[in-house]
Amino acid sequence: MTTRNGMKRRNIGAHISVRDLCHRYRRHEELALSGISFEIKPCESIALVGRSGCGKSTLLHILAGLMSPTSGSVRIDGALVSGPSPDRIVMFQQPHLLPWMSVAQNVGLGLKFAGEARHERDEKVKELLRLVDLDGFGARNVQELSGGQQQRVALARSLATHPEVLLLDEPFSALDPVTRRSLQRDVRRIALDGGITLVVVTHDIAEAVAMADRAFIMAPNPGRLAEILKFDADLLAGTDREREMFVSAKAQLESAFERTYGRGSAAAAD
Ligand code: ADP
Ligand code: MG
């Protein structure tokens, strides 16, 4: 089956199950995470929200398998996560592109490592560039691109290996608001179309509402889940009704944020 973007649908999304997760970076130090349990359904999109230092990145890195928790478990479709995998890709605030390579070479890097033949790689790279709205940019030097375009290249590179889970650590926080909004929308659409489970770390309330089905609000010292909020609406299409629902979902999340962090904290959240 192919999606309307032409990308082959291979995934049905992964189910993530987290049980009693605790993490301590060093012996005798405070717990960075404590007693975290939750389930994420296939193709669901979750925003991890909370003030700096509450353990969002730590949790994301554990979900990716980049770090082992001190105790507790992460299972993806029932299998214990014990290390990194191309099925679970992390995108960071910086796109981390290789400046001496073209856009197409950067996007095709994972395919090259996977041993794909040149011809197939070129075809896939073209398709990926179309998907992230960078059609015709393949031969360009990555340094000539804007921050938003570079993040799109990083996104295309992340999607090349058909990840089942995309983990985003404040990926758009260095971008201007307009660029940021278009990337939020595009990533959400691509994930829905491609059957990808999304986890987005953000301290921006509007970003959480725009991208997620549910928000997990985290509290600090030790990092833990304070509240889970479900958004009712699909907020992508931008009709008047949806704009209203967006405003109301944002207000709900702001209230939840203030229950955890105190009055006035949501306004200062970003
Ligand atoms: P967030 O992403 O929400 O800002 P982090 O997950 O980065 O929070 O950090 C959570 C806590 O763990 C903080 O107290 C931070 O100082 C600590 N921490 C993060 N990374 C390390 C590390 N590599 N070594 C020791 N402590 C760390
Ligand atoms: Mg962080």
Tokens at 55, concatenated: 């353990």
Atom in ligand 1 nearest the alpha carbon of residue 223: 10
pLDDT range class, residue 4, cuts 50, 70, 90:
very low
Mean of pLDDT values over 94-117: 93
Measured in angstroms, how far is the CA atom of residue 221 from the centroid of ligand 1?
A: 11
Ligand 1 binding pocket (C-beta < 6 A) is: 25, 32, 50, 52-58, 223
Q: What is the pLDDT of residue 270?
A: 47
Q: Whose CA is nearest to atom 10 of ligand 1?
A: 55
How far, in Å, are 27, 78, 105, 157, 175 from residue 18 at the CA level? 23, 10, 36, 27, 31
pLDDT range class, residue 240, cuts 50, 70, 90:
confident
- Chain CA centroid to CA 111, Å: 21
Higher pLDDT, 232 or 4: 232
- Chain CA centroid to CA 242, Å: 23
Say which residues have a Cβ less than 8 Å from residue 213's Cβ, sequence separation at least 6: 44, 45, 46, 230, 231
Could you give the CA distance from residue 192 to residue 5 in angstroms, rounded to a whole number?
11
Q: What is the pLDDT of residue 2?
A: 43
Could you give the CA distance from residue 75 to residue 14 in angstroms, rounded to a whole number?
10
Mutate to test the pocket of ligand 1, among 22, 23, 24, 25 (most ligand atoms within 8 A of CB): 25
The ligand placed nearest to the CA atom of residue 169 is 2
**Total residue count of the chain as it appears in this document:** 270
Mean of pLDDT values over 55-77: 97
Please tell me the pTM assigned to this model: 0.91
Residue 239 has pLDDT above 90, yes or no: no
Measured in angstroms, how far is the CA atom of residue 56 from the centroid of ligand 2?
A: 6
Asked whether 34 and 220 are in contact (CB, 8 A), the reply is no
Could you give the CA distance from residue 128 to residue 207 in angstroms, rounded to a whole number?
24
User: If DSSP codes are grouped into helix, strand and coil, which group holds residue 5?
Assistant: coil
pLDDT range class, residue 232, cuts 50, 70, 90:
confident
Atom in ligand 1 nearest the alpha carbon of residue 55: 6
Measured in angstroms, how far is the CA atom of residue 53 from the centroid of ligand 1?
A: 6
